[in-house]
């Protein structure tokens, strides 16, 4: 008598491929979901390349510039848990399409912005609709692919997109800024969103869970406010001292609110984020891995982009092309890890090894000097880092959404995106502060001649690379302790098919 897999992907305990309305078109759906994920991830980096041109055009101050990036991260990161639960409540297809439409509209407003105020408002709105779109896309992926082998391939591709979206954003942003103008870094999002929306409307079918969860309003307010304070506090650290109330005050408030949120989730009848989602050993370890990978990865994308353009004299387009070896390496190991290695070896050694490899690549980059070349100085460390991130990121995203109850699929997917986004935001703030402090220390007592300034800036970048390597190394230890080592256990979670 066939057994029922109690750990199968959401909604699949009673429904096999024949009863899954998405099964016949699953690979086309993957393309649509991958396009949507690319839209969300690259939008966090594509604007970075365009900021100097936008600043010259609109005439805003350098202090205001950071809010074009931070406003998106604040809205996106703080509202993701709510977006995941909305997908569970009102349907994943509906939430997915609304998220895409709203994202496209906000991109149109931002592209036509006459001033900094409208641009920041548009970026904030992008983050709001991105918080609807991202968890809905990941939960749709989880419920569409039911065969373990195909699921591994699908998550390998999806994880590769998540890991390389930032680098693709730098390449695309440089190309658009150089040839069409900075506004097209926002207008291009309309094209991505329109294609994904058309594909989603045609290919997807609404599949509601038998029991619709109710909205946990106190929990929603607590976690959204807590994440907002946390990201806002770390963002202020880029311009204010760590001892400033605008930094530590918001960090303390964020920690308190998140602690209140955890207490609430153990006492309410319909929690926003059920503790059973987080307390599963593998899933909890996967969230840690996604968080730390997001934090460490920005050490590569952000500071290496500055190094390539300011120290090696690369154009925006050439800088984007320089990241392609990392993209290729990441996609290779992401696909191999989820499809071949994860069922055999389990997540512990796989994710830990990936993080150690990424740490090794960043250690190589931390040895860069002002006159280091791309081929001998940058390329080896960049490629090794890509191999490690792909090995860690894709399996983590797969394990993080594995085995959740049907009614929790959206919020579990939202937790993955929250971990990545908040990790990236905190990583950017911390590493930027570390880099700035290193530059200041290097310039102390010296005449700021051009060669001295160049050496100081490189010292800042390499210090940030070293700290990013430490983040990955710490992640390897943490994941090695929390995640299970058995591939057989993972196969049990997938079920005997």
pLDDT score recorded for residue 72: 84
Instruction: Report helix, strand or coil for 147.
Output: coil
Largest CA distance in the chain: 81
**Tokens in use for 54?**
């936008």
Q: What is the pLDDT along the chain (497 residues), one digit of tens a residue?
A: 333 233 334 444 334 554 666 667 888 888 899 899 888 878 777 877 777 788 888 887 766 766 787 788 778 877 877 887 788 788 888 999 999 999 999 999 999 999 989 999 999 999 899 989 988 888 888 778 777 777 777 877 877 777 677 777 878 888 888 888 889 999 999 999 999 999 999 888 876 655 566 777 888 888 888 888 887 888 787 777 778 888 889 999 999 999 998 898 888 877 777 787 777 788 888 889 989 998 888 767 778 877 887 888 887 778 778 888 888 898 888 888 877 787 787 788 889 999 999 999 999 999 988 888 888 889 999 999 999 998 988 888 878 877 777 666 667 777 777 787 788 778 877 888 888 888 888 888 777 777 788 888 888 889 999 999 999 999 999 988 888 765 545 554 544 33
pLDDT score recorded for residue 1: 32
Topology, domain 17-205+272-494: Growth Hormone; Chain: A; (1.20.1250)
Residue by residue, DSSP assigns 202-219 as: HH------SSPPPP-HHH
Helix axes 450-482, 379-400, angle to 10 degrees: 30
Domain boundaries, the chain: 17-205+272-494, 216-271
pLDDT score recorded for residue 346: 78
pLDDT score recorded for residue 170: 75
Query: How far apart (Å, rounded) are the C-alpha atoms in residues 368 and 458?
Result: 7
Three-state DSSP string of 120-168: HHHHHHHHHHHHHHHHHHHHHHHHHCCCHHHHHHHHHHHHHHHHHHHHH
CA atoms within 13 A on the CB side of 79: 21
Assess contact for 457 and 261: CB atoms under 8 A. Answer: no
pLDDT score recorded for residue 175: 85
Assess contact for 150 and 26: CB atoms under 8 A. Answer: yes
pLDDT score recorded for residue 410: 67
**Tokens in use for 461?**
């970048």
pLDDT score recorded for residue 215: 74
Query: How far apart (Å, rounded) are the C-alpha atoms in residues 41 and 44?
Result: 6
pLDDT score recorded for residue 210: 55
pLDDT score recorded for residue 488: 47
pLDDT score recorded for residue 112: 93
Query: How far apart (Å, rounded) are the C-alpha atoms in residues 458 and 370?
Result: 6
- Name the residue among 84, 337, 28 with its Cα closest to residue 203: 28
- Name the residue among 497, 435, 440 with its Cα closest to residue 465: 435
């Amino acid at each position: 008598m066939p057994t029922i897999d109690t750990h199968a992907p959401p909604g699949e305990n009673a429904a096999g491929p024949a009863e899954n309305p998405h099964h016949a078109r699953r690979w086309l759906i993957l393309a649509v979901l991958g396009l949507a994920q690319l839209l969300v991830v690259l939008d966090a980096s594509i604007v970075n390349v365009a900021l100097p041109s936008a600043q010259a055009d609109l005439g805003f101050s350098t202090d205001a510039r950071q809010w074009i990036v931070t406003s998106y991260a604040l809205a996106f990161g703080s509202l993701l848990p709510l977006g995941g639960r909305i997908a569970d409540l009102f349907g994943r297809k509906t939430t997915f399409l609304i998220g895409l439409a709203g994202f496209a509209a906000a991109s149109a407003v931002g592209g036509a912005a006459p001033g900094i105020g409208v641009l920041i408002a548009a970026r904030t709105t992008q983050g709001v609709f991105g918080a609807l779109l991202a968890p809905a896309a990941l939960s749709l992926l989880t419920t569409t692919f039911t065969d373990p082998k195909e699921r591994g391939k699908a998550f390998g591709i999806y994880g590769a997109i998540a890991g390389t979206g930032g680098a693709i954003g730098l390449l695309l942003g440089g190309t658009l800024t150089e040839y069409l103008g900075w506004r097209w870094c926002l207008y291009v999002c309309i094209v991505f969103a329109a294609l994904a929306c058309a594909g989603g409307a045609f290919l997807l079918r609404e599949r509601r869970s038998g029991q619709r969860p109710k909205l946990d309003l106190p929990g929603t307010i607590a976690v959204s406010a807590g994440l907002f304070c946390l990201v806002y506090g770390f963002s202020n650290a880029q311009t204010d001292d760590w001892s400033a109330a605008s930094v530590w005050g918001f960090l303390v408030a964020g920690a308190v609110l998140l602690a209140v949120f955890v207490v609430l989730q153990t006492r309410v009848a319909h929690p926003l984020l059920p503790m059973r989602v987080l307390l599963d050993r593998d899933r909890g370890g996967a969230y840690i891995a996604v968080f730390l990978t997001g934090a460490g990865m920005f050490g590569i994308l952000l500071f290496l982009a500055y190094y390539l353009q300011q120290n090696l004299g690369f154009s925006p387009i050439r800088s984007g092309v320089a990241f392609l070896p990392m993209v290729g390496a990441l996609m290779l190991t992401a696909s191999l890890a989820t499809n071949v290695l994860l069922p055999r070896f389990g997540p512990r050694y796989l994710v830990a090894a990936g993080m150690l490899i990424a740490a090794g690549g960043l250690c190589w980059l931390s040895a860069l000097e002002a006159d280091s070349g791309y081929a001998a100085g940058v390329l080896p460390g960049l490629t090794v880092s890509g191999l490690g991130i792909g090995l860690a990121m894709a399996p983590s995203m797969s394990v993080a959404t594995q085995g959740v109850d049907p009614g929790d699929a959206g919020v579990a997917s939202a937790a993955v995106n929250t971990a990545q986004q908040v990790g990236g935001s905190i990583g950017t703030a911390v590493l930027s502060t570390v880099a700035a402090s290193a530059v200041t220390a290097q310039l102390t007592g010296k005449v700021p001649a051009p060669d001295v300034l160049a050496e100081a800036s490189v010292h800042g970048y390499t210090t940030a690379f070293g700290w990013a390597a430490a983040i990955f190394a710490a992640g390897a230890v943490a994941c090695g302790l929390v995640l299970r080592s058995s591939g057989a256990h993972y196969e049990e979670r997938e079920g005997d098919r």
